[in-house]
Chain A
Amino acid sequence: DIQMTQSPSSLSASVGDRVTITCRASQSIDKYLNWYQQKPGEAPKLLIYAASTLRSGVPSRFSGSGSGTDFTLTISSLQPEDFASYYCQQSYTMSRAFGGGTKVEI
């Protein structure tokens, strides 16, 4: 199985900060990597797919990069509505697809 390791598991940041979350795969997954945002009490929302493609309607302050084993999600200027949990997910295989999540707190 491919293992997805996300870091950090949590972080504290302020409005306006640049935030970077990393995701590492235990083997190469090319660009089969997606990012999701989840707010308390809500279902996850797809932000970025295929490592760097922004889903329609997602603000441009979100960006993704990487290929192979190392990936990053960047929020260029954190907004109040961005305080949430973020998950990476490899779509190379179905098994153990998600990283453990990163909680972005104030």
Chain B
Amino acid sequence: EVQLVESGGGLVQPGGSLRLSCSASGFTFRNYAMYWVRQAPGKGLEIISAIGDSGVTTYHAGSVRGRFTISRDNSKNTLDLQMSSLRPEDTALYYCVKDLVPGNWNPMLEYWGQGALVTVSS
């Protein structure tokens, strides 16, 4: 059974930093691209970061580029998102997501974690 468990969410002041982690199990982690998708309260979905199976290829949405960094450790089956210079508009539920197809870079978002809530407020 595929499991994706996010951790590291919480309340942070504007300008602060936070690191989200996702622990993956139930599949061959190193074979799949992984994503962070966020959803602000009552709003829609946004792919904010993505990383290819080997970790070489990455993507960051314009809204977070230069502030967020995605990384993965294929030896530990973990996905991370380092967030800095946080803004109130970054307040959202952050989902760790697995792609459907091995080696794919056209996101088909098959399995989702339950999300980590990040609140940016003073």
Contacts and interface: CB of A to CB of B under 8 A. Distances in A.
B45 A95 contact: no
Interface residues of B, number: 19
A76 B35 CA distance: 32
A89 B59 contact: no
Contacts of A43: 95, 112-115
B106 A87 contact: no
A62 B47 CA distance: 24
A89 B106 contact: no
A49 B95 CA distance: 19
Count class of interface residues, chain A: 20 to 34
A89 B109 contact: yes
A106 B92 CA distance: 27
Interface in A54-106: 55, 87, 89, 91-92, 94-95, 97-101
A44 B45 contact: yes
Interface of B: 44-47, 50, 59, 61-62, 95, 100, 106-110, 112-115
Interface of A: 32, 34, 36, 43-46, 49-50, 55, 87, 89, 91-92, 94-95, 97-101
13 contacts: A43-B95, A43-B115, A49-B108, A55-B100, A91-B106, A91-B108, A92-B106, A94-B107, A95-B61, A97-B46, A97-B47, A98-B46, A98-B47
